[in-house]
Amino acid sequence: MITRDWIRLVASSIVVLAVQILIINNLNLNQYMFPQLYIILLLSLPINLKHYVGYLIAFIMGFVVDSFSYTPGLQSFTAVFVMFLRYSYFNNLVDKEWLSSGIRPSFSNADSGWYLAYVSIFTFVFHFVLLILENFSFVNFGGTMLKILYSSSLAILLILLFQFTFNRETVNDE
């Protein structure tokens, strides 16, 4: 990544983390919706980013959210775990030519069906691990599964809304 990309990553991280901490975490939607929007930052990191850098970024983002939401270590662990799964996914299931290109997954760089599946799977896994660890009990397991389903669905909707709003390609017709 070049310097401009790092500056853009830091700026977008500050904005998304601020939205997550100041707005989304304080919304009282209902007892089943707790979307984690900051996962969009993890999912849109370049594919060929060094593993330790990705893990460090995931840990820092999780730590920041943990610090403001009073969930010691849950967000950090879940973010690093999702980064591990993301690296495993890209190393084992993605074409090596695409892997070496170093692109950032988004609607503009990939097939929209693939991107929607990618975001949906990793967002669901993120919420599943986070909420299972948070409850750490089989009491009211159905309620936990509803919370996972609703939180994941709302997070996917918000991620797609952010993607459509802030990552539009401009086309010059000359």
**Model confidence pLDDT, tens digit, residues 133-145:** 988 887 888 888 9
Percent of the chain clearing pLDDT 70 (strictly above): 91
Contact 39, 157 (CB under 8 A): no
Contact 49, 2 (CB under 8 A): no
Please say if the pLDDT value at position 166 is more than 80: no
Q: What is the rounded (10 degree) CA torsion for 51, 54, 56, 58?
A: -140
pLDDT band at 62 (very low <50, low <70, confident <90, very high): very high
Q: Is 24 left (phi over 0), alpha (psi -120 to 50) or beta?
A: alpha
Question: What pLDDT does 120 receive?
Answer: 93
Question: What pLDDT does 173 receive?
Answer: 39
109-128 pLDDT tens trace: 777 788 899 999 999 999 99
125: tokens are: 């896994």
Residue scoring higher pLDDT (34 or 101): 34
Quick one: CA dihedral 164, 168, 171, 172, positive or negative? positive
Element (H, E) at 26: none
pTM of the prediction? 0.87
d(CA 37, CA 41): 8
